[in-house]
Structure 1
């Protein structure tokens, strides 16, 4: 009996691969001090999108060229969840224990952006207090995982529409 692939196996495999790529990318961003650069952060979206596409293609290849829309949606979403869990856990450890100054970089950038928008000192202080609640390493871990799942789900909705190939009914 041949070793049949499952959507879960493929999603886990590619989730780990993309999670490792995300960890390496996150390390570069944090070490280079680019954590507050939105343009560089956009690359993370591209990494997830490529991962979703690669995972779906891998499943399709191992499944005789077939993949339903639902299978693609499940693969991409689970892959993104695994990847998000790995990269968020790494970011939590990095920001909490290895280099807590990363959080200061994020807050300084946010404060500078608010000053550019012309907010008063009182408004900036209020916004920064609120930000510190939602931008703690623990909260960022939760939002990172949730955000990865949602982003992966949206990418999967789109990518699965193009990658899917249903089995013929009469075969």
Structure 2
């Protein structure tokens, strides 16, 4: 007889792809409005808040799907694996799309971002020498550090955003 027990990996993959596609859609909306390179604190907080809310929703949906397929049971570690796994997968998708956006779709994106940042710093009254130092550091990015930092940040958001849903929705099998 075949074992039809669901796996956390399949559920995490499904919701990770969904989260990744939502992220791509959001970034395409910014691109079509020519806002994809304009980074300021309000946009960062908006994107972060939206990401946390979407992570929580995806975690809840994934946990409920797994629990339903698992005869109504799910452990806390299984719930956590689903949420963190989904955010890891969506993070990889986001990084790949970000690379395609910056190097294929809009190869001038980095130059636009540097010009925008320069203007923002100068308008805020920053010393021109400090602005020049900041701009020089942006011209030669360390992609390995950016990718690693992005994935670690996604994992952290996934962990934090999944803690409460995984605890609230866990249901252990009775021990006989």
TM-score range, shorter chain: 0.7 to 0.9
Give the match for residue 147 of structure 1.
153
What secondary structure is seen at the aligned counterpart in 2 of 1:127? helix
Q: Indicate whether 1:93 and 2:93 are aligned.
A: no
Answer yes or no: is 1:60 the counterpart of 2:67. yes
Structure 2 match to 1:131? 138
Q: Which of the numbers 42, 53, 60 marks the counterpart of 1:46? A: 53
Question: What does 1:17-36 align with in structure 2 at a 5 Å threshold?
Answer: 17-35=18-36, 36=39
- Alignment root-mean-square deviation, CA: 2.4
TM-score (norm 2): 0.81
Cα distance change, pair 113–50 in 1 and its aligned pair in 2 (3 A): farther
Alignment of 1:166 onto 2:167: no
* Larger displacement relative to structure 2 (142-151 or 78-87): 142-151
| Larger mean Cα displacement after TM superposition, 160-169 or 74-83 | 160-169
In 1, Cα distance between the equivalents of 2:70 and 2:175? 16
Separation (CA, whole Å) in 2 of partners of 1:52 and 1:86: 17
Which range moves more in the overlay, 145-154 or 63-72? 145-154
| Corresponding residue pairs, total | 169
Shift, 1:93, TM fit: 0.8
**Structure 1 runs of 4+ with >6 Å offset:** none
User: Structure 1: where are the runs of 5+ without partners?
Assistant: none
Give the CA deviation at 1:117: 4.4
- For 1:115, the equivalent position in structure 2 comes to 122
TM-score by length of 1: 0.83
Q: For residues 22 and 166 of structure 2, what CA distance do their matches in structure 1 show?
A: 22
Query: Separation in 1 of the partners of 2:113 and 2:54?
Result: 22
- CA displacement 1:119-145 (0-9 Å, x = unmatched): 2111111122223344x6665444333
Aligned counterpart, 2:87: 80
Query: Which 5+ residue runs of structure 2 have no aligned equivalent?
Result: none
CA spacing shift, 1:157–1:108, aligned 2, 3 Å: farther
Structure 1 pair 116/54, CA: closer, same or farther in 2 (3 Å)?
farther
Give per-residue Cα distances to partners, 1:36-76, cap 9 Å, x unaligned. Answer: 23354232333233222221121112112211111111111
